[in-house]
Amino acid sequence: MKGRNYSAIMPGSVQRLLIVVAAYAMMAAGCATSMKVGIESPIIPMDNNGEEKARITGTLTQIETRNRTIEDSADWIRESYNGFMIKNLAEMDERDFSRYGRYLDNGSVYVVVHPAYYTFFQDSDIIPDNSNGNILSQNAVERFLSDGAFSAKTKLIKAQEKMLRDFLEYMSAEKKLVILIMPKGYNSYAGYKYRNGMDEYMRFINEVTNESDSVLYLYSKKPNRGTLGERDRKKLLKFLYSVRANSILLGGGYIGRCLEDFYKDIEQFYGEDKIYVVPEITAISPSDMTSNLASDILQSDGTVNVGKLSFSIKNNSLGNQEITPLIRNLSAVEHTP
């Protein structure tokens, strides 16, 4: 897949609007705020589909506007640390499940295992101290993406985090059905970088899911494994059958590790022919990433070569991968077995 330049598909008036939005955000924040790393759509429209381009442009504008207004408010940021602004599927009334079928994406539900795991649980860089209640202008992922990267491995990790961040922003704004599998007990887990301060993971999830009714979450059985507890697995399966999802589109971190845990846990009940891995939202563990692999998957513009990533996933060359999953790209209608 080629590098994505969405300014090329936007009408001139919308381009100017987004430039004004970005400039206003910078001026309003003063010296305390760095520019947010821009959101891109994960969907590639056909060049001759003007209606699709207009819809994508409208969604991007909606996201940028919310980011510079609602989510730049100090009051909203403080509130974002006090609880998730999306629903826990495990606590929902099963009689309400069927109504979520309206959020399916052409019959599919997205499941993201341990989103942004690297930034919050593996990034070894110095972390700003937020334990005294200071409100940081950028969330942790924005700070990570804004930092420079010199090695191919770091650049690929950043590209993976950005793709998933953009996906969650976009799909939540588009009201597509997304289920996040969060690390259970993460805020007391020794690997969580912010366990002694304000809950930056909670803030990030709240910012990228836009308080959307179409985004739900469950907890994995352990903070470092993607398997669900028995009760939560049963609830998820009831939900999937209630909404009549014809497929699960799976992403998150890491392929061959926690993502494989979830896959093997669900496919025996739901059917492996209904579960697809989506490369655009799937991350490779730094432990499984050689410099040569990272250089091969990275494109010259710093984005991910989805075709080469798909090849690595299909050929069982990552992590402890014991599965050969079906693959579906966000930018293509065909399935790759």
Q: How far apart are CA 186 and CA 206, in angstroms?
A: 16
Terminal CA-to-CA distance of the chain, rounded, Å?
18
Question: Where do the structural domains in the chain lie, given as residue ranges?
Answer: 84-336
pLDDT at residue 10, as a whole number: 37
* Measured CA distances, 271 to 102, 237, 246, 247, 265 (Å): 22, 11, 10, 9, 11
Alpha-carbon distance of 68 to 63, in angstroms, equals: 9
Rg from Cα positions in the chain: 19
Give the Cα separation of 145 and 160 in Å (integer). 10
- Inter-residue contact 208 to 168 (CB < 8 Å): yes
For residues 57 and 273, give the distance between their C-alpha atoms in angstroms, rounded to a whole number: 34
Encode the chain (337 residues) as per-residue pLDDT tens digits.
333 333 333 333 333 334 333 433 333 333 333 345 689 988 877 666 788 889 899 999 999 999 999 999 999 999 999 999 999 999 999 999 999 999 999 999 999 999 999 999 998 776 766 667 678 889 999 999 998 888 999 999 999 999 999 999 999 999 999 999 999 999 999 999 998 889 999 999 999 999 999 999 999 999 999 999 999 999 999 999 999 999 999 999 999 899 999 999 999 999 889 999 999 999 999 988 999 999 999 998 889 999 999 888 887 667 777 778 899 998 754 434 3
pLDDT of residue 13: 36
What angle do the packed helices 152-173 and 200-209 form, to 10 degrees? 50
Q: Which of 313, 209, 225 is nearest to 265 (CA)?
A: 225
φ/ψ of 310, rounded to 5, equals -60, -40
Per-residue pLDDT at 37? 65
Question: What is the DSSP secondary-structure string of 112-179?
Answer: EESTTHIIIII--S-----TT----SS-HHHHHHHS---SHHHHHHHHHHHHHHHHHHHHHHTT--EE
CB-CB contact of 153 with 118 (8 Å): no
Task: Select the CATH number that applies to the domain covering 84-336 from these four: 1.10.260, 3.40.50, 3.90.320, 1.10.20.
Answer: 3.40.50
Nearest Cα to Cα of residue 279 among 259, 302, 258: 259
**Sign of the torsion angle spanned by Cα atoms 74, 76, 78, 81:** negative
